[in-house]
């Protein structure tokens, strides 16, 4: 098994370097533009997904930490994505996983709080988590799964969190938002953010997170003939058609905050197919990172919630629910080594 694993990592690294020359320093007689910075990679270290079963196995912190160490391969920085609400305690299980090179990508979900309570919540989360966090996303997928008054909460929350970060000297901390995306414009949503927030909102936004799930097996979604081209078109829409509506320029980075492919109990939803599809999608993101100023990529998720379940939300893991690696686990390790930030 060890020999097979090492062969897969080496083969993946060699294949990536062959098709992604922009990531490799090579001597050339002709001057070349400076390549864009490498991606920072990350992962959601849990198993449960919204819409999934409630009878999944509990997280095993020891096995999670061991898996994360393997993915880092001793040197790569790694973002750990986590989802909390205003009533979530500190410290939590993900914070306990932080080791050298690991930082949080934190989502703070809005659940209908009064605006004064909501903005106070954001200020407190910034104070508590800011020192160990790279990014805080205010609300989650409000464009697709709107919560009443959620657009106002998004705008006021981003502004309040940015002010809190500055007041606490957390200049490195980026405050932003996430949306679930497709290659068409969520015009009304973005126009509403501009109307509610204006220049103060545009100034406070430090990134836009994009959740990408082409052919992931989710209910109500249509097949995508070419996921790589779908991703390119989607990122183009975000950068050139949506973000300008709210006054966000090319200097505001895009982060691929979620990307996944489920191996639930359905036709052709195999671990081998997952590896094939996700490798193509990661390479597609990497290929256009300079064009669209994409700075990070995060996988959803580390493990299945319930392996073998017929529920598509239960099978997103790179590992089974007992932490046995699927092929994509080792491939992702190789991609992080070949393409990732050092």
Pairing of strands 294-299, 254-259: parallel
Calpha distance 305→297 (Å, rounded): 21
**Tens digit of each residue's pLDDT (9 = 90 or more) over 13-30:** 444 444 443 333 323 344
Q: Please say if the pLDDT value at position 298 is more than 90.
A: yes
Contacts of 310 (CB under 8 A, 6+ apart): 264, 265, 266
Which phi-psi region, left, alpha or beta, contains residue 86 (left: φ > 0; alpha: ψ -120 to 50)? Answer: alpha
According to the model, what pLDDT value does residue 32 have? 52
List the beta bridge partners of residue 207: 176
**Tens digit of each residue's pLDDT (9 = 90 or more) over 170-222:** 999 999 999 999 999 999 999 999 999 999 999 999 999 999 999 999 988 88
Calpha distance 79→43 (Å, rounded): 6
Alpha helices in 130-226 (DSSP H): 150-167, 187-204
According to the model, what pLDDT value does residue 74 have? 81
> For the chain, what are the domain ranges?
2-14+38-339
Q: How far, in whole angstroms, is CA 7 from its chain's centroid?
A: 27
Enter the pTM of the model: 0.92
Quick one: average pLDDT of 321-327? 98
Specify the fold of 2-14+38-339. Answer: TIM Barrel (3.20.20)
């Amino acid at each position: 098994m060890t020999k097979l694993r090492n062969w897969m990592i080496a083969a993946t690294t060699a294949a990536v370097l062959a098709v992604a020359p922009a990531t490799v320093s090579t001597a050339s007689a002709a001057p070349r533009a400076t390549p864009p910075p490498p991606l920072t990679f990350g992962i959601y270290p849990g198993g449960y997904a919204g819409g999934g079963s409630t009878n999944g196995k509990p997280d095993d912190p020891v096995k999670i930490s061991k898996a994360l160490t393997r993915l880092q391969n001793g040197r790569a920085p790694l973002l750990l994505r986590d989802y909390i609400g205003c009533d979530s305690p500190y410290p939590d299980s993900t914070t306990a996983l932080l080791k050298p090179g690991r930082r949080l990508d934190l989502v703070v979900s809005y659940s209908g709080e009064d605006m004064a309570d909501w903005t106070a919540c954001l200020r407190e989360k910034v104070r508590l988590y800011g020192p160990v966090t790279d990014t805080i996303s205010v609300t989650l997928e409000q464009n697709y799964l709107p919560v009443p008054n959620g657009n106002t909460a998004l705008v006021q929350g981003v502004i309040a969190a940015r002010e809190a970060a500055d007041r606490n000297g957390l200049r490195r901390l980026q405050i932003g938002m996430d949306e679930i995306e497709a290659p068409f414009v969520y015009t009304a949503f973005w126009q509403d953010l501009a109307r509610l927030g204006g220049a103060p909102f545009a100034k406070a936004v430090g990134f836009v997170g994009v959740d990408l799930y082409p052919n992931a097996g989710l209910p109500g979604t249509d097949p995508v003939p070419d996921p790589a081209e779908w991703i390119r078109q989607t990122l183009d829409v975000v950068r050139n058609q949506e973000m300008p509506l709210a006054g966000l320029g090319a200097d505001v980075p895009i982060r691929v905050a979620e990307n996944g492919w489920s191996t639930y109990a359905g036709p052709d939803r195999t671990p081998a197919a997952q590896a094939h599809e996700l490798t193509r999608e990661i390479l597609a993101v990497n290929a256009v990172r300079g064009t669209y100023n994409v700075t990070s990529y995060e996988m959803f998720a580390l493990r299945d919630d319930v392996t073998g379940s017929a529920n598509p939300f239960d099978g997103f893991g790179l590992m089974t629910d007992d932490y046995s690696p699927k092929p994509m686990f080792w491939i992702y390790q190789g991609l992080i080594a070949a393409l990732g930030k050092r």
